[in-house]
Amino acid sequence: MRVAIAGAGAVGRSIAAELLENGHDVLLIDIDPGAIKIDSVPRAEWLLADACEIASLDEAGLNNCHVVVASTGDDKVNLVVALLSKTEYGVPRVVARINHPNNEWLFNESWGVDVAVSTPRLLSALVEEAVSVGDLVRLMTFRQGQANLVELTLADDAPVVGQRAGSVPWPVDAALVAILREGRVLVPTADDPLEAGDELLFVANQEVEQELAHLLSQH
């Protein structure tokens, strides 16, 4: 898979290194000469250019990329990169970094964003997830406003404890995708019993989150 990353700062370089380890081809793009640190990710391709300009993206060969990651520290730049990637080059998947939570509402399909990642929100969610039992925690948003990755740790007295996953009347537009139990990741089947302390991961429409939380924590 070929991936172009706009923004070769610490975040962009870390993403590039991880993708390269997983066998992907990676191109890092940045307008700042000081960010071009080839020795830091020597196996990546590098391009000194403005990722907000069509000529630069032509040079980057975005029409041959499967994924574009807009990872700069400027939300305006990330939105422009996302929009150009999707509308001008038809990139199948565009991932954009949100630096300021107040801008989250902009990072949607209208701007070409398939997946928006808010670092502040993700970090706060992980803190909540670590200390919350019985509360629904949103970990990540996919296609802003349509689907979220949410987590809930079952309390001892949760009404679904002891029930089989397939017998619980999950809300429409909510799917149980994984159960984390004692360090193991379980792919749930209809016959799997739910236990106290299980961390349940759902992909759910935002509109049914409250219904899901009520189902899992009502007494």
- Reported pTM: 0.63
Q: What's the pLDDT band for 126 if we cut at 50, 70, 90? A: low
pLDDT tens, residue by residue, 3-27: 999 999 988 999 999 899 989 999 9
2-117 CATH fold: Rossmann fold (3.40.50)
| Mean pLDDT of all residues belonging to the chain | 88
| Level-2 CATH architecture, domain 132-217 | 2-Layer Sandwich (3.30)
C-alpha to C-alpha distance for 192 and 180, rounded to whole angstroms: 12
Domain boundaries, the chain: 2-117, 132-217
C-alpha to C-alpha distance for 155 and 133, rounded to whole angstroms: 6
Report pLDDT for 76. Answer: 97
pLDDT tens, residue by residue, 68-113: 999 999 999 999 999 999 999 999 999 999 988 889 889 999 999 9
User: Where is pLDDT greater, at 37 or 182?
Assistant: 37
C-alpha to C-alpha distance for 68 and 2, rounded to whole angstroms: 9
Q: What's the pLDDT band for 131 if we cut at 50, 70, 90? A: very low
Is 182's pLDDT higher than 90?
A: no
